[in-house]
């Protein structure tokens, strides 16, 4: 079986812990694991802009002994309509794994169905699961644990970060609270899945339109841009409904006094978060950005090791 990481719940709670432990180990000893030595190549495909994901996967694959091949889809035949199924056949004979940032989750799932090497979600419209692994590693570093902690996410409840917090934090046994305006609440199917997971891990899931209620006594306060990539046309319309969800000093006063602040970045100061909060000592966003590399290295090593066809580049 080939292991993929298309959404947060592709890892069981035990596997998530294993990956986070491995990420800590790799952070302590950067070149300790060399599963891509050869070097074997990992294709990093981007249909949307990226700074952190591009950097952290490129450096991370090199750390693992491999060769990162960054491709902007617009410069490939995928951008001219070559079928995903055909691209899959070509990729699996050249590279050890594929990391893809794209729009539709369905396209990522289609690629994974037609390929015999691990596929990793580097962000879709629906999920951003690699980011959540890095976030969980960061929370564990600063709080010592995950299970039982409360994470409040303020802003666009229907975006990739919200959906991935719901699943990823539920898997970790955390209490997830989404504070979002009406009309921007999470996909009910994902919410149901998160509730189902939380029941088995001791976590919980809440969605509210009341920002302060969401943040009350929270151990972790997280936010994200109000305008995700691909939604630029909605920028003006979103300003008024999202304004009450700004993570500012007043909102932080409702959280636990030792709460930490997460933001996947890029951040828009004065919109979803104030400069006073993101640049305060409570903010751990730079650790979070660094941890992308450690968490993704651990994930890649785990997927390669737990797939039963670890070296399929030739047929
Ligand atoms: N957080 C994140 O994924 O950043 P980039 O869009 O810069 O990759
Ligand atoms: N929700 C944001 C995350 C950026 C890393 C987006 O999709 O643009």
Contacts of 294 (CB under 8 A, 6+ apart): 23, 24, 26, 27, 60, 134, 137
> What are the structure tokens assigned to 114, written together?
């037609």
Cα–ligand 1 centroid distance for 308 (angstroms)? 31
pLDDT class for 308, splitting at 50, 70, 90?
Answer: confident
> Do residues 16 and 41 touch, judged by C-beta distance below 8 A?
no
Q: Is the pLDDT of residue 288 over 60?
A: yes
101 annotated as belonging to a binding site for a ligand: yes
296 annotated as belonging to a binding site for a ligand: no
Mean pLDDT value of segment 71-94: 95
Mean pLDDT value of segment 97-108: 98
Does ligand 2 come within 6 angstroms of the Cβ of 58?
A: no
> Do residues 42 and 300 touch, judged by C-beta distance below 8 A?
yes
Q: What is the pLDDT of residue 313?
A: 67
Reported pTM: 0.97
Q: What is the pLDDT of residue 72?
A: 94
> What are the structure tokens assigned to 163, written together?
């959906």
The overall average pLDDT reported for the chain is 97
**Tens-digit pLDDT profile for residues 154-165:** 999 999 999 999
Tokens 């691990």 correspond to 118
Residue 14, CA atoms < 13 Å, CB-side half-sphere: 0
Q: What is the pLDDT of residue 314?
A: 60
Q: Is this complex scored with an ipTM above 0.95?
A: yes
Cα–ligand 1 centroid distance for 289 (angstroms)? 9
Considering the candidates 40, 137, 175, 264, report the single residue annotated as catalytic. Answer: 264
Distance CA 244, CA 121 (A): 31
C-alpha distances in Å from residue 69, one per residue of 121, 137, 215, 289, 293:
16, 26, 41, 21, 16
Does ligand 1 come within 6 angstroms of the Cβ of 58?
A: no
Q: What is the pLDDT of residue 74?
A: 87
Contacts of 20 (CB under 8 A, 6+ apart): 133, 136, 137, 140, 295, 298
Q: What atom of ligand 1 comes closest to residue 51's alpha carbon?
A: 7
Does ligand 2 come within 6 angstroms of the Cβ of 59?
A: no
């Amino acid at each position: 079986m080939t292991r993929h990481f298309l959404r947060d719940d592709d890892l069981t709670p035990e596997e998530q812990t294993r990956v986070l432990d491995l990420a800590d180990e790799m952070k302590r000893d950067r070149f300790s694991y060399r599963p891509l030595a050869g070097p074997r190549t990992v294709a990093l495909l981007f249909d949307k802009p990226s700074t952190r994901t591009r950097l952290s996967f490129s450096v991370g694959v090199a750390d693992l002994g491999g060769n990162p091949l960054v491709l902007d889809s617009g410069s490939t035949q995928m951008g001219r309509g070559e079928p995903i199924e055909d691209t899959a056949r070509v990729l699996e004979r050249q590279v050890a794994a594929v990391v893809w940032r794209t729009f539709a989750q369905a396209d990522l799932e289609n690629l994974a169905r037609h390929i015999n090497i691990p596929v990793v979600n580097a962000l879709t419209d629906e999920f951003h699961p690699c980011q959540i692994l890095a976030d969980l590693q960061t929370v564990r570093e600063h709080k010592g644990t995950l299970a039982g902690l409360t994470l409040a996410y303020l802003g666009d409840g229907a975006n990739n970060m919200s959906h991935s917090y719901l699943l990823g934090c539920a898997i970790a046994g955390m209490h997830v609270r989404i504070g979002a305006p009406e009309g921007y609440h999470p996909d009910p199917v994902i919410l149901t899945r998160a509730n189902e997971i939380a029941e088995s891990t001791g976590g919980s899931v809440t969605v509210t339109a009341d920002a302060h209620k969401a943040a009350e006594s929270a151990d972790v306060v997280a936010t994200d841009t109000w305008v995700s990539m691909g939604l630029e046309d909605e920028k003006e319309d979103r300003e008024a409904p999202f304004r009450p969800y700004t993570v500012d000093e007043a909102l932080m006063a409702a959280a636990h006094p030792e709460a930490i602040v997460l933001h996947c970045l890029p951040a828009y100061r004065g919109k979803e978060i104030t400069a006073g909060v993101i640049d305060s000592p409570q903010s751990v966003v730079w650790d979070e950005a660094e941890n992308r590399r450690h968490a993704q290295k651990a994930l890649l090593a785990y997927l390669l090791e737990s797939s039963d066809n670890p070296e399929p580049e030739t047929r």
